[in-house]
Amino acid sequence: MWVTSLVSVLPLAVFAFALPSKDCEHKVKEAVVPPRHWVVSGPAPPDHLIKLRIGLPQPNFDVLEDHLYAVSDPYHERYGAHLTKEEVEELVAPHPDSVSEVNGWLSSHGIQEEDVGRSPAGDWLTIKLPVQLVEKMLDTKYHVWKHTGSGEQIVRTTSYSLPKDIFEHVELIQPTTMFGTFKKLKSSLHSISKIDPQLQSQNLPPITDSATGLTVDASCNTTITITCLQQIYNAVGYTPSAGIGNSVGISGYLEDFANRADLQAFFEDQVPAAAAVNATYNFVSVAGGLDPQDPDEVGVESNLDTQFAFGLTFPIESTYFSTAGRPPFIPDIGTPEDTNEPYTDWLDFVLSHPNPPLSISTSYGDDEQTVPESFAKRACAGFAQLGARGVSLFVSSGDGGVGDGDPDPATQECITNDGTNRTQFIPGFPASCPFVTAVGGTVLFPERAVSFSGAGFSNYFSRPRYQDAAVTGFLKKLPAGTYSGLFNPNGRAIPDVSAQSDFFRVFVNGQPFHVGGTSASSPAFAGFVGLLNDARLKKGLPSLGFLNPLFYSKAASGFNDITVGNNPGCGTEGFNATVGWDAITGLGTPDFGKLVKLVT
């Protein structure tokens, strides 16, 4: 039975006369300890504009979650019966009482209906307001905070309050206490080096992996191409189709732009069929995201993502999302507004889209602890909505091993941000969200775990039931007391799966470069899922959608188990790859030939 909770959006003007004052006694909604390395550099300018995002509670989210698991469980009778956009919006809509109370509060501060943006479900409100008004509404004081390492500046407060009569009708408000900056440093791009055009193959004999029986060109141990991925993951000879409703997407951020000329150079080098028809991607601007094709504005990250995801899946429909936002931000008169949460702008947009791509990869993230728990959980709920609609989401697990995102284990601090200054492994977000598929990294053939593969256990999200058997088995293998106190053994574990993550041959300004990082493994894995969706759609089956319940059960035998390697960080050797799931490569890497049989 469906839960009826559709919201009728009530005009703010209705309350303009009835509620002259909402400035009653306030109650602290959220407070944080100032994070390490952030210091106050001065008061926030009173006319500085903040794009305030108000999240209203989703009282029926648990019902949506039940639906998500039902349609994602390969043994459930409803497997594959994805929800429609309208059904999902109905399940996440706030209670009408919350809508009316918050409308009244806004109206009491002179905010008109036309000033407020609303998500299709009415669960998010967005409004641009000057700092001086936000401070009054939230009974707080904003400051300009500066990061002592990067020099980056943001406008934040360490606590905010709400009137008691609307306290329960608001789940969270940001940007307030969120010091995660989602900057390019935090992307999962690990390394880049120009390929010497004089470097010639040594014509070594092909390599055979005794465990899988697969044979791969020896060159794949020095350079990863589309052909290498097809060989390593048993997809040689598979031909996807166009025009059957399939689609693959890449989300780009922080003014890192994909370049069509470089995509053509890549296709000419590795996918001649695509080059022959001058294939390209659909460009979608999110919140004003740009699409410059100037060689001076080429993004290595976006080129990597688009070239390999779209190269693997040609001629499947491909989409590149460019979401606006330019960090670091320096608040001054010339730039009165900062947009430092592009992830939520993208989520707003794609959730409003009637037909989002069926397989989407993202190669950006933050240390989980830099993101307030309330915000992380609310963003994660947005990913669940996409999964319920049949979309598979992939996120790079990060490049810091078990550490804090710094790729050099020797310089990792791994210190908690809660004021206790404890040493602890640092998981990444959004990889730690249980409703995405977190992708770690491997290298070479036969494959081994790459040392920088991000991994660990969430401190925000408990271990989802689909992971219980696999993760419990891994934890039982750890010697008693291993890393005691450094990680949360009951947390959502990452990564879920892995793929090659180094020496990718990427074209930048027409020249080939080697690029590495789990920012490579995520789009590659998303590409193979695009091929699996192709096989399903050809047989009249729905898209795979949220994958983790499938991967940890029926499809677990479709992965190559990686048993060599470790991911050092935080002054430790990290976790070891081992038989079965492990906290460095997850379930392993895909065997497309096996998976396609398991899912069709």
Q: Which residues are annotated as a binding site for Ca(2+)?
A: 561-562, 580, 582
Distance, in Å, from the CA atom of 264 to the CA atom of 276, rounded to the nearest integer, reads: 10
Contact of 305 with 262, CB cutoff 8 Å: no
The pair of three-digit structure tokens given for residue 572, joined into one six-digit string? 């430790």
Per the annotation, binding residues are 561-562, 580, 582
What lies within 8 Å, CB to CB, of 338 at 6+ separation is: 154, 155, 175, 329, 331
Helices (H) and strands (E) in the chain, counts: 14, 28
Phi, psi of 577 (to 5 degrees): -70, 140
Cis peptide preceding 175, ω within 30 of 0: yes
Q: Extract the runs of DSSP E, i.e. beta strands, from 398-519.
A: 428-429, 437-443, 448-449, 456-462, 491-494, 497-500, 504-508, 511-516
The string over 357-373, giving b where at least 16 C-beta atoms fall within 10 Å of a residue's C-beta and e elsewhere, is bbbbbbbbbbbbbbbbb
Helix, strand, coil in percent for the chain, rounding step 5: 30, 25, 45
Name which of 530, 488, 480, 524 is nearest 506 in CA terms: 524
Element (H, E) at 196: none
Bridge partners of 249, per DSSP, are 319, 360
Contact of 449 with 586, CB cutoff 8 Å: no
Residues involved in catalysis: 301, 305, 519
Strand, helix or coil at 455?
coil
Beginning with the edge strand found earlier in the chain, give each strand of the sheet holding 172-174 in spatial order. Answer: 117-118, 124-130, 49-55, 172-174
Contact of 329 with 342, CB cutoff 8 Å: no
Burial class for 502, CB neighbours closer than 10 Å (0-12, 13-18, 19+): buried
Distance, in Å, from the CA atom of 373 to the CA atom of 486, rounded to the nearest integer, reads: 19
Contact of 536 with 542, CB cutoff 8 Å: yes
